[in-house]
Amino acid sequence: MSRNILILPGDGIGPEITAEAVKILEAARSEGLDITLSEGKVGGAGYDAAGHPLPKDTLDAAKAADAILLGAVGGPQWDKLEDISLRPERGLLGLRKELELFANLRPAILYPQLAEASSLKPEVVSGLDIMIVRELTGGIYFGQPRGIETRDGQQVGYNTYVYSESEIERIGRTAFEMAQKRNKKLCSVDKANVLEVTMLWRDVMERISADYPDVELSHMYVDNAAMQLVRAPKQFDVVVTGNMFGDILSDEAAMLTGSIGMLPSASLNASGQGMYEPCHGSAPDIAGQGIANPLATILSVAMMLRYSLNEAAWAERIEKAVGVVLDEGLRTADIAYAGTRKVSTSEMGDAVLAAF
């Protein structure tokens, strides 16, 4: 049975980079991978085309898809929208929530060919391979009540950081299972010395750990985690945390590698349906110039094949092709340095295709 893949290029560099990833998907299809591709609009592109960052036909197509490949959303032209429910980010958040993509997997891996690019000392980051598991459909991103209102003659803004036991348990089990497949170390990050919601988080992680006796569970406060990622990132294997802390720590961890243009991500729901996107954003400042790095998006396709389509062999072929291209010294501007060959977005995509 053919699997439906929905491509959502989005905004900024999104269209350029997804175009390169689609080349790979099409090559795989022509070699026998049974997939059907379609395209939709989301984010600022959705707003421009249909007046909403998550148009109804996009949402319907997303629900019907086996997997989604998303480029990136956002740009300065939409930041002035007074009604924040129309901003590009809402399209992304809406997809996550509507499809219940609660498990966000964000690997931070240092490619040996790119060790130079890190701002950290080589001995601190060489061989780095962390998996951050971020809860993606709860926490302060979606908590009610929220808003800005007038109280005692002045404006007050408020949001609610909330998690239920079952939400915590669900992401916790995903993280424990991930740790079982890796080095069997799980670090749960919270602020249990201050926030009640994360005290519950810690309690639930403790409770379910009994079901994973082969995994070593530890707890760390978020401020300490932010420090330890800088001091000694290789102490981590799998990290699990809530939506907001995960947003911050996964970006910090990604930047340790110096090559955020290389890092894919997966957002999964309970039935394995997933949305795949590069960790970097829409980079409006370089959009349309053909210099963006398509590798994070291409590697997101590999994650898609592995996690949603159960096609690990195809995933490995893609990852191998990326390795070959890096070995050949090809680099987009963000990862280029003296002695390497600087290439454009499409040259990079073509090179991966050739090595595929």
Ligand X SMILES: CC(C)[C@H](C(=O)O)[C@@H](O)C(=O)O
Site string for ligand X, 207-226 (x = CB under 6 A): ----------------x---
By CB under 8 A, name the binding residues for a copy of itself.
Answer: 74, 84, 87, 89, 93, 119-121, 124, 140-141, 143, 146-148, 151, 154-166, 191, 193-201, 222-224, 226-232, 244-245, 247-252, 254-256, 258, 260
85 is a contact residue toward ligand X (CB under 6 A)? no
Which residues from 138-167 bind ligand X, rule CB under 6 A?
none
89 is a contact residue toward ligand X (CB under 6 A)? yes
Catalytic (active site) residue 57: no
Stretch that binds ligand X, among 89-97, 123-131, 226-234, 328-336 (CB under 6 A): 89-97
- Provide the minimum distance between the beta carbon of 207 and a copy of itself in the complex, in angstroms, as a whole number: 11
CA neighbours closer than 13 Å in the CB half-sphere of residue 225: 27
- Provide the minimum distance between the beta carbon of 68 and ligand X in the complex, in angstroms, as a whole number: 14
Q: What is each CA distance from 156 to 126, 127, 152, 318, 331, in whole angstroms?
A: 46, 46, 9, 50, 48
Which residues from 185-204 bind ligand X, rule CB under 6 A?
193-194
> 39 pairs with which residues across the strands?
7
247 is a contact residue toward ligand X (CB under 6 A)? yes
Strands 330-331 and 341-342: parallel
Dist CA 344 CA 80 (whole Å): 32
Dist CA 241 CA 218 (whole Å): 12
Dist CA 185 CA 178 (whole Å): 10
> 218 pairs with which residues across the strands?
187
| Residue 254 or 351 with smaller CB distance to ligand X | 254
Dist CA 155 CA 90 (whole Å): 23
Catalytic (active site) residue 251: yes
For 297-310, b where at least 16 C-beta lie within 10 A, e where not — what string? bbbbbbbbbbbbbe
| Residue 258 or 281 with smaller CB distance to ligand X | 281
Q: Which of 57, 60, 211, 223 is catalytic?
A: 223
Task: Consult the annotation and say whether 148 binds a ligand.
Answer: no
Catalytic sites, residue numbers: 141, 191, 223, 247, 251
Q: Which residues are annotated as a binding site?
A: 96, 106, 134, 223, 247, 251, 281-293
